Amino acid sequence: GQSLEQPSEVTAVEGAIVQINCTYQTSGFYGLSWYQQHDGGAPTFLSYNGLDGLEETGRFSSFLSRSDSYGYLLLQELQMKDSASYFCAVRVSGGYQKVTFGTGTKLQVIP
């Protein structure tokens, strides 16, 4: 099976930078995704790392280290609208996109 660990809650100040870590244990690891979910809303895709290193998409970046079974999501220039839950999700197959989600990190951005 798979297991993922992320902090349950993080609080950060508007305009600051925050990093949300994710460690995983799985066999057949293929890649790591990140999703954002606002309260009452649908999860929305943020990024995917299939290879080691940093992927940057605007204010959001995601990092993966396969050797450490570790990844993180970096959010820069935090805005109030970034307050949401953030999920890392492990993809275990190249054949199809089955993913296992972590329990999520609730980010609160304060003024």
* Binding residues for another protein (CB under 8 A): 31, 33, 41-45, 48, 50, 87, 89, 91, 93-104
For another protein, the closer CB: 81 or 96: 96
Q: Is the C-alpha dihedral spanning 12, 66, 34, 58 positive or negative?
A: positive
What is the closest distance, in whole angstroms, from the C-beta atom of residue 57 to another protein in the complex?
Answer: 12
For another protein, the closer CB: 9 or 77: 9
For another protein, the closer CB: 7 or 14: 7
The CA radius of gyration of the chain, in Å to the nearest whole number, is 13
What distance in Å separates the CA atoms of residue 27 and residue 57, rounded to the nearest whole number?
A: 28
At 104, list the tokens. 């999520």
